[in-house]
Amino acid sequence: MSEKKNYGFTTTILHGDRQKTIEHGSLHKPVHTSVAFGYTDARQLASVFQGREPGFRYGRQGNPTVSALEEKVNKMEGGVATLCFATGMGAIGAVFQALLRAGDHVVSSSFLFGNTNSLWQTVAGQGVGVDFVDATDIANVAAALKDNTRIVFVETIANPRTQIADLRRIGELCAEKGILYIVDNTMTTPYLFRPKAVGAGLVVNALTKSIAGHGIALGGSLTDTGAYDWSRYPNIFENYKKAAPSMWGITQIRAKGLRDFGASLGPEAAHHIAVGAETLALRMERTCANAKALAEMLEADPRVAAVHYPGLPSHPQHRIAGELFKSYGSLFSFELKDGIDCFDYLNRLKIAIPASNLGDTRTLVIPVAHTIFYEMGAERRASMGIAESLIRVSVGIEDTADLVDDFKSALDA
């Protein structure tokens, strides 16, 4: 496959790794299980260690199978470089381990994946100031910035209430102030949206979710989009400033985040994720269409109190979502009217499965307040707009009519 032509999203993912010859003409990058990599010339080993030539040394820092996946994700995001991690949380954790020091300040969206929210609480206990703001309004983000603010962190479509941060204007504000802008793109995936387009310097993807799609492997990634000027970032060690500034951030994250903390992606998981990623675009088309059909049916039903889905004109950020994203996503949440018990409702569903993953090919449902948002308590749930009866739906690729019938029949019963 030639490097020159501007191929489409799926062609690029399928054929991108053939720009280098794959061993024995294998159509899939092989699963390299070796932890260490040997050299016939000891000087070459030293040269690889010193970063003077590319190569693999020890599995925690890199592996050929993982590296092929990194290239695929990098192409999807249009990045300068991508690193993979054992999980999405491993990727987010590495940002904080590698880039923040005591006395720094972070502004984060208050509408966050629950474990990221929990991670921020940990970071806050270690001398980094964290302010949570409603990032759907740029004024809140601007008001929270301080002289020592290093990072603004938001998600695209928040899970589970689907609020959408004012992504473009936050990007402009960060660019003006020289602040690193990090966007967790898990809910949209690079098929629906590239955060690089709104100035994000680093992009997080939980590969576990829609990119893999099958729910059989955990993984995460960080992509440097090239949009951030690392010479403006104060916490880069002199050691990692040898290459061009565009590589400083990713070099420090690889050493201080991935190598030192060790949340490395295994080659078997990388292989599973790479195979799943081949059908990302096809699955997203189907899951987004299914989500829209379900959300519209539920919103029209008098027994449903509220439906939160960016594809509905009633959603507060419907217009922004339409401008920024190719489609409105495969996740929505809804609240039943008083008198319908959410557990009884879920138990009546015949296709959708009560489970906590998302981005799977199967439709998964979960009572949010009683599970993934249970630990934080009722007060913080209320402040995040999480109703006690809220049901999150991660929509799969099942046939549309079957899904609509399943969710409707469970109301009728």
Ligand X SMILES: *Cc1c(COP(=O)(O)O)cnc(C)c1O
How far the first Cα of the chain sits from its last, in Å, is: 55
Q: Give how far the C-alpha of residue 392 lies from the chain's centroid of Cα atoms, to the nearest Å.
A: 17
Contact residues for ligand X, defined by CB under 6 A: 87-89, 113, 116, 155, 159, 184, 186-187, 206, 208-209, 218, 220
Least separation in angstroms between CB 376 and ligand X: 16
Minimal distance, residue 187 CB to ligand X, in Å: 6
Instruction: Kindly state the smallest distance separating residue 99's Cβ from ligand X, in Å.
Output: 17
> Which residue, 74 or 87, has its beta carbon nearer to ligand X?
87
Residue among 93 and 249 whose Cβ is closer to ligand X: 93
Closest to ligand X by CB, 342 vs 372, is 372
Do 171 and 181 form a contact (C-beta atoms < 8 A)?
Answer: yes
In the complex with ligand X, the residue whose CB is nearer, 251 or 327, is 327
Supply the minimum distance, in Å, between the C-beta of residue 114 and ligand X: 9
* Strand-pair partners of 84: 221
Q: How far is the CB of 220 from ligand X (least distance, A)?
A: 5
Residue 203 or 342: the one with the smaller Cβ distance to ligand X is 203
Give the residue at shortest CB distance from ligand X: 88
- How remote is the C-alpha of 381 from its chain's centroid? 22
In the complex with ligand X, the residue whose CB is nearer, 220 or 249, is 220
Nearer to ligand X, 84 or 410 (CB): 84
Residue 113: CB minimum distance to ligand X, A: 4
Minimal distance, residue 239 CB to ligand X, in Å: 29
For the bound state, the minimum distance from the C-beta of residue 358 to ligand X, rounded and expressed in Å, comes to 6
Query: Cβ closer to ligand X: 136 or 251?
Result: 136
Report how far residue 202's alpha carbon sits from residue 184's, in angstroms, rounded to the nearest whole number: 9
Backbone φ and ψ of 179, nearest 5°: -95, 140
Q: Is 184 exposed, middle or buried (0-12, 13-18, 19+ CB in 10 A)?
A: buried
Nearer to ligand X, 199 or 220 (CB): 220
Among residues 144 and 206, whose Cβ is nearest to ligand X? 206
Q: Is 48 exposed, middle or buried (0-12, 13-18, 19+ CB in 10 A)?
A: middle
What region, left, alpha or beta, does residue 24 occupy, with left being phi > 0 and alpha being psi -120 to 50 degrees? left
> Least distance to ligand X from the beta carbon of 157, Å?
9
Q: Please give the Cα distance from 164 to 40 (Å, whole number).
A: 53
| Min separation Cβ 366 and ligand X, Å | 12
